[in-house]
Amino acid sequence: MIDKFVKVKFEKDGDLYLTKYTNNSTLKVAEFYKDKPFPDYKNGETKQSLLEIGDKNLVSKYIKNFIGYNKNILEVGSGTSQLSLYLAIGNNNNIYALDPTYNSLKIGSEFAKNNKIKNIKFVQGDIFDDIFYENKFDFVWCSGVLHHTENPELAFKILCRYLKKDGYLLLGLYNKYGRKILELRRYLSKIFGEKIIDLIDPVAKKLKKNHQKRKYDSWINDQYFHPIESTHTFKEILKWFDNNNIEFISSIPSTDYLNNYDNLIEKKSRPDDLNSIFLQINMNFNEFGEEGGLFMFIGRKK
């Protein structure tokens, strides 16, 4: 079955499929995540608790319902693959979780094994090696990943190839304007020391309060010490969409300013320049800025 999806040579290591990659930036990023895989699991996480976490997140819950059954799904940069596992639970979809970081995938695959989740394949590899066949997937999810690569636009182009016609993708990236508040926090932590992060970063504060030490470490590491990071704008991503035959469907934050996530796949108005600037700057003053200024675009392949 996997031969129908992965076009390069791979080795089998337990439940993992390993492809060789040599890109220096990818090796550097994989090394970065080796000791602090992202996102971390809380102690005693179960299939049920993962399902509850996914259902609490209105975006993942909506997308999972929208996908339905009997589909091929790819998550690019799945890390420990919590989202992929959530999408796999309770249906017959065929999920591929791709990430270069061995330790992250291993955690995901152990979880799948212990919880008897069988419809997911964990593939170690690099998006730049273009390891999948074209037009294979009904949904491609890639969030929090491309801004940690050396050429996000090229990586986007590659992942668009994997989508079938009328297939959907979700892309999540750090926003150039919406991440300003995080950059300010990072700057302050350099002047006043790391301890100040606990006072000024709402996510870190909450994780600390709830004694989620490993999640806390992995958040601080990812947000404050990443070796490769870029930020992006609405305008730029609209251009990527146009260049790769992807129709804009909706964004988070949304152009109708409502941010209710129960119609994410209904086509919204395309953000114009004024709309975009307002939405992006505004991210600094709401939960988007609190959580690092990540924005999402959903598109459909024409």
Residues forming the site for ligand SAM (CB under 6 A) = 26, 29-30, 33, 38-39, 76-79, 98-101, 104, 126-128, 143-145, 148-149, 222
- What order do you get walking across the sheet with 294-301 strand by strand? 11-13, 16-18, 120-124, 94-99, 72-76, 137-143, 163-174, 294-301, 246-252
Cβ-based nearer residue to ligand SAM, 77 or 167: 77
Q: Which is nearer to ligand SAM, 80 or 280 (CB)?
A: 80
Q: Is 210 helix (H, G, I), strand (E, B) or coil?
A: coil
For the bound state, the minimum distance from the C-beta of residue 98 to ligand SAM, rounded and expressed in Å, comes to 6
Of 120, 116, 167, 135, nearest in space to 2 by CA: 120
Q: Minimum distance from CB of 28 to ligand SAM (Å)? A: 9
Q: How far is the CB of 144 from ligand SAM (least distance, A)?
A: 4
Which residue lies nearer to ligand SAM by CB, 102 or 133?
102
> Least CB distance from residue 82 to ligand SAM, whole Å?
6
Burial class (CB in 10 A: 0-12, 13-18, 19+), 237: buried
- In 3D, which of 286, 179, 280 has the Cα closest to residue 238? 280
| Secondary structure element (H or E) that encloses residue 197, with its range | helix 197-200
> In terms of CB distance, is 53 or 281 closer to ligand SAM?
53
| Cβ-contact 252, 296 below 8 angstroms | yes
Chain centroid to CA 164:
20
Neighbouring residues of 167: CB distance < 8 A, sequence distance ≥ 6: 137, 138, 139, 140, 300, 301
Nearest distance, CB of residue 170 and ligand SAM, angstroms: 11
CA-wise closest residue to 109 among 170, 41, 54, 20: 41
Nearer to ligand SAM, 60 or 94 (CB): 60
Beta carbon of residue 21, minimum distance to ligand SAM (angstroms, whole number): 8
**Which CB atom, from 292 or from 299, has the smaller least distance to ligand SAM?**
292
Judged by beta carbon, residue 149 or residue 276, the one nearer ligand SAM is 149
Contact 27, 21 (CB under 8 A): yes
Rounded distance, CA 247 to CA 170, Å? 12
**Measured from the CB of residue 77, what is the shortest distance to ligand SAM in angstroms?**
3
